[in-house]
Structure 1
């Protein structure tokens, strides 16, 4: 028996480049005999509310990349406060140390961490030079030093 249908509103060829196909999702939602979970591009409270308003039959949502970009997103959806710089720092360190524990070599960890800065750089407006140093780091020591400087000296944009 099917308990829930998780529907990602994209096709494989879209990857994450394009807007979710909400018209196609709407057709599927109207026809679904199962509880429906929406998946795709929820990065803010406004995104979440928009999906819930447009698709009231949706019983749950997946936040994936939205949580990577904003670790306080669930709390904000529930009416709580935005992420602080300290929370982001802790979040970053948990991810980094987790990768360091399970992956071998600086190169693999660096690749994963640098990939995440595509989501995080918007938290540090006007800090392109410091973020570029993070993305150009060639060792974990260099990476962590660049992140530390950014977190110590930069303003944090609360989403």
Structure 2
């Protein structure tokens, strides 16, 4: 029988924060898509889609939701400490390294689109999608590392 240790069943402050970040990234991007995608799919020319307010509200809302989510999680499931240990730091480093590749891809994609004189809609949404992918992939990487350990390549 495989018994879990107390360390494995109790989430650290950092792991809880990673869950909040992941949920907010998924919900926020879903909200943004639900606001912009119907116009795009409805045939509205991208130059006429008013994506800027939707994007700004979603980004601002995600920041506020992350703060509130973190507070709510700590109220209902308080952590013993808010200080991360060496394992938390290694996991964070791994997740951020994996996630940052999407930020780089987004910057390169936006650069290419700007060089091609693409509409601002495409440039902004390329960067936004890559930020969201970075948040999701880095969070998943961290959560997997919390459960399986940091790989020793």
TM-score, normalised via structure 2 length: 0.32
TM-score, normalised via structure 1 length: 0.31
Q: Pick the structure with more helix per residue.
A: 2
Q: Pick the structure with more strand per residue.
A: 1
